[in-house]
Structure 1
């Protein structure tokens, strides 16, 4: 009665007897060395390397792929080679930046030189076009002036009866003009533009009209029957100024014409007419 066995109550569990049957032994995970503990994990290293590659530009210019480049410069070694690989990668990217920058400057300088050459060529072309334009305008003015002062033959129908420089008893000295025989009353035309500076009778020249051209050359028209202009009149080449006659020292109706540059000594009228595109 006095000795009672302890009764197991609910909630109290008898400790299990250790058994070796079916029991697994815990596997110890290898611990990281102090060097490996200090280094960041591989994903972080790859992320850092990717950022470096993005900042430095394309590194695979020689055909090396990105994975190979990262593996080459991030392989760990016993003496901390992984950190050294990252340093080498950064140095390589920096050198790449220097090369790219140098090439960019060279390209920029070449572009600037090309632009300057283009600008110089355009400026020279503009100057040349300006000179050509001035020459064209000058040529047009000269052509208009030549057309304006185009000489014409004084008679439409005639026969050369005496030339410049001939000697004869008919003249006190050599012949100073060109004689163009034509019927009395044939119209006489001014050979060029000018101003009438003399009209009247002049001894052996008979009735004479003098027209002074723009360059100062005087043209004498002698032996006329009649005058059709007065002193001060402005005449144009081809305009009728008088008629053929035989006044003064003359043996028959004809026009005696003289050409006197600057109002001085006479020159050969034939040569002067030829020089102005005429064929007497």
Structure 2
């Protein structure tokens, strides 16, 4: 019998990660979608459209730091297992630094920075290869 969404999420969390950074919401703009809207000619992450204030959770256990960027607005970086997970365009950061566990509420969806509406822009990059690097994110 296939697992329900809740069962799959619980299993992923027990294994140290979470299936979606915005539980209950799927990808609305995929990674590497081509188009004139992005400075590199393609989308560098995955977008999760949701109402402003929707909860974002840690996709893995690790450590968090926060920042500001003209394009990505208020953001968090979750470092775990050799990867940095970027949470961008946030309206509110519930954690700004320190340790977090998979599934913990860490932020809220917003439209800070260069955004056309409320959504989470989410990227996974090799740890230490920040924004503006020439390293293509690994999905």
Gaps of at least 5 residues in structure 2 are: 1-12, 130-134
- Selected match of 1:235 from 100, 103, 107: 100
Question: If the length of structure 1 is used for normalisation, what is the TM-score?
Answer: 0.41
Query: Counterparts in 2 of 1:15-54, with a 5 A limit?
Result: none
Q: Does 1:212 align with 2:79?
A: yes
Q: Deviations over 1:185-220 (max 9, x none)?
A: 000000000001x3121110111100100x221000
Gapped runs of 5+ residues in structure 1? Answer: 1-145, 270-280
2:18 match:
151
Matched, 1:190 2:61: no
Alignment correspondent of 1:19:
none
Work out whether 1:172 is the aligned partner of 2:39: yes
The reply to whether residue 221 of structure 1 matches residue 87 of structure 2 is yes
Alignment TM-score, normalising by the size of structure 2: 0.79
Distance 1:162 1:151 in 2: 19
- Structure 2 distance, partners of 1:158, 1:148, is 21
Q: Which residue of 1 aligns with 2:110?
A: 245
Q: With CA pairs under 8 Å and 6+ residues apart, which has the higher RCO, 1 or 2?
A: 2
Determine if the alignment matches structure 1 residue 267 to structure 2 residue 133: no
Alignment coverage as a number of residue pairs: 121
Q: Sort the Cα spacing of 1:191 and 1:266 in 2 relative to 1 into closer, same or farther, 3 A.
A: farther
Name whichever structure is richer in strand by fraction: 2
CA contact (8 A) 1:152 1:192 kept: no
Q: What stretches of structure 1 move > 2 A for 4+ residues in a row?
A: 157-161, 261-269
Q: After superposition, give the CA deviation of every residue in 1:129-160 in whole Å (9 maximum; x if it has no partner).
A: xxxxxxxxxxxxxxxxx945233311122243
Taking the aligned partners of 2:29 and 2:78, their CA distance within structure 1 comes to 22
Rounded to whole Å, the distance in 2 between the matches of 1:151 and 1:186 is 16
Task: Summarize deviations over 1:10-36 as a string: whole Å, max 9, x none.
Answer: xxxxxxxxxxxxxxxxxxxxxxxxxxx
Structure with the higher helix share, 1 or 2 = 1
The answer as to whether partners of 1:259 and 1:267 remain within 8 angstroms in 2 is: yes
Q: Bigger shift: 255-264 or 240-249?
A: 255-264
